[in-house]
Structure 1
Amino acid sequence: MRKAAGFVVFRRLCGEIEYLLLKASYGSFHWSAPKGHVDPGEDDFTTALRETKEEAGYDEKDLIIYQDTPITLNYEVRSKPESQAKPKIVIYWLAELRNPNQAPILSDEHTEFKWLGKEAAKDCAGFKDYKEMIDKFHEIIVKL
């Protein structure tokens, strides 16, 4: 089973809550939050920090991280349309960008980024479980 971790990064800009989505430079060119595979001997949270730094350029000093609110997604992935689906677990934590004007710095794993409101972020990502996660995190954000 493959395991990954990352952060759902959001910002507050002009009274609006926006979510960061990155467009993958590989596979189906999907949009998602920064995340990546857990390396051997690495814990999930350390992976989330490392991957967010690698993929978006944000590190712990750039973010307010809500460690007590992780959400785990379980789904199956196919490396190729004809290949067998493999189970994958991704753990996401919620993280607020301290400086809402700080642009991400993308790695070669992504070609574009977007800051989107809740509904647009859900539509862009497309996956049902991802949409449900955004809804749950949004409920947390409005109570902060």
Structure 2
Amino acid sequence: MMAGKEVVAAGFIVFRSLSSEIQYLLLQTSYGQHHWTPPKGHVDPGESEFETALRETAEEAGLNKSHLEIVDNFKKTLHYPVNGRPKRVVYWLAKMKDPEMPVTLSDEHIDFKWLKLEEANKLISQYKDMQTVFNETDEFLKTKGNNL
């Protein structure tokens, strides 16, 4: 049984389309085991989850709302324990308006990569639920095709 208040975080699965190839943005943390993750962070008091996703993506990757095209009707939520507390992470999907726009990392991260689905899944292989989100995202984008 998990004790404690639920921790809530939010972020974006950011992708770009380069010569008809979809690539996903992953950031490598500068803390812990230096795992790879989409930009995300904890919801601040008085902030909506969507506002958090925008703020954290701007802080962690230097990408603000003007750089991103938010994809309607796509939202994924993960639930998992962290340090004995339940955690809920909400992700929206965002396309880079300019696929060549540089990513600017905060001190919370030491590296970033744009990766195809298979490569992204290798980097996040210890997080099966995150892999599922990436797989579902890729399927969603393939069914949308050029309608994004």
TM over 0.5: yes
Match of 2:15 in 1: 10
5+ long unaligned stretches in structure 2 = 1-5
Q: Does 1:120 align with 2:125?
A: no
Q: Distance in 2 between matches of 1:114 and 1:86?
A: 30
Alignment of 1:91-106 (within 5 A): 91-106=90-105
Q: Does 1:50 align with 2:49?
A: no
For 2:139, the aligned partner's letter is E
Match of 1:88 in 2: 87
Q: Secondary structure at the match of 2:57?
A: helix
Q: Distance in 2 between matches of 1:122 and 1:130?
A: 8
> Alignment partner for residue 42 of structure 2, among 28, 31, 37?
37
Match of 2:3 in 1: none
Shift, 1:67, TM fit: 3.8
5+ long unaligned stretches in structure 1 = 79-84
Aligned length: 138
Runs of 4+ in 1 over 3 A off after TM superposition: none
Q: Secondary structure at the match of 1:141?
A: helix
For 1:10, the aligned partner's letter is F
Range 120-129 or range 30-39, more displaced: 120-129
TM-score by length of 1: 0.93
Q: Distance in 1 between matches of 2:115 and 2:66?
A: 23
Q: Distance in 2 between matches of 1:102 and 1:63?
A: 10
TM-score by length of 2: 0.90
Q: Distance in 2 between matches of 1:67 and 1:14?
A: 23
Alignment of 1:58-69 (within 5 A): 58-69=63-74
RMSD: 0.9
Q: Distance in 2 between matches of 1:140 and 1:94?
A: 10
Q: Does 1:71 align with 2:70?
A: no
For 2:137, the aligned partner's letter is F
Q: Distance in 2 between matches of 1:125 and 1:32?
A: 7
Q: Distance in 1 between matches of 2:134 and 2:121?
A: 7
